[in-house]
Chains A and B, each alone.
Chain A
């Protein structure tokens, strides 16, 4: 396949990262992370299907330090992605497009993510 060396307009290496850009790429990163975490949902359901030993193994892993870190990461990513997804769909519906609202909804979303995931984690542990 022939490679065409077209010039790229300056982007990530040139500009500073404005707050909305950080939020935007985090939506993509959390989406990809959630997709990988989906493997664990399947593993967990099959463990429940296959037997007490398999289920106990999964539960023991979940309660290990790595397991807890992964589950909190997944929960945090999920809440972030959910709230930012709602923010996205509000834009899609045509609201909140100006710069001021974008910053405001961004901060509301970030605070909401921290509050909801920490509160949920207190219940889950």
Chain B
């Protein structure tokens, strides 16, 4: 490549960001780092299944006002929604070849998970701190 001979940019700099995700291995590792905590959290929720499936709102609220359940639910929401947004991003990148639609889908996806995630955390905090 003749272009390269006259360039001051390093090879790494030229290669960065031209993959379909415009991002390197970061996406891959973030997806996994967000996935791992969900394994113990799922096991914890299995031990709490009676509280999670109760018909009695007062009992559910009381459970969610305890620190451990509240923190566990918030952690789960953070992990699931962050992991989910990265995962759906991967699917969009694979199936939406048109650049314009791809970018729009990626933005909609981010907003979807950010919105749902923050709303869910708000609901948990409001319940925990007794705003009911």
Q: Which residues of A contact B (CB under 8 A)?
A: 1, 28, 31-32, 34-35, 38-39, 41-42, 45-46, 48-49, 51-52, 55-56, 59, 78, 82, 85-86, 89, 92, 120, 123-124
Contacts and interface: CB of A to CB of B under 8 A. Distances in A.
Chain A interface mostly: helix
Nearest to B29: A92
Contacts of A41: 77, 80, 120
Among A31, A48, A56, A124, residue most surrounded by chain B Cβ atoms (within 10 Å) = A48
Contact of B132 (A1, A32, A49, A124): A49
B69 interface: no
Contacts, number: 71
A79 B92 CA distance: 23
B21 interface: no
A35 to B, nearest CB: 4
A124 B53 contact: yes
A38 B49 contact: no
B124 A45 contact: yes
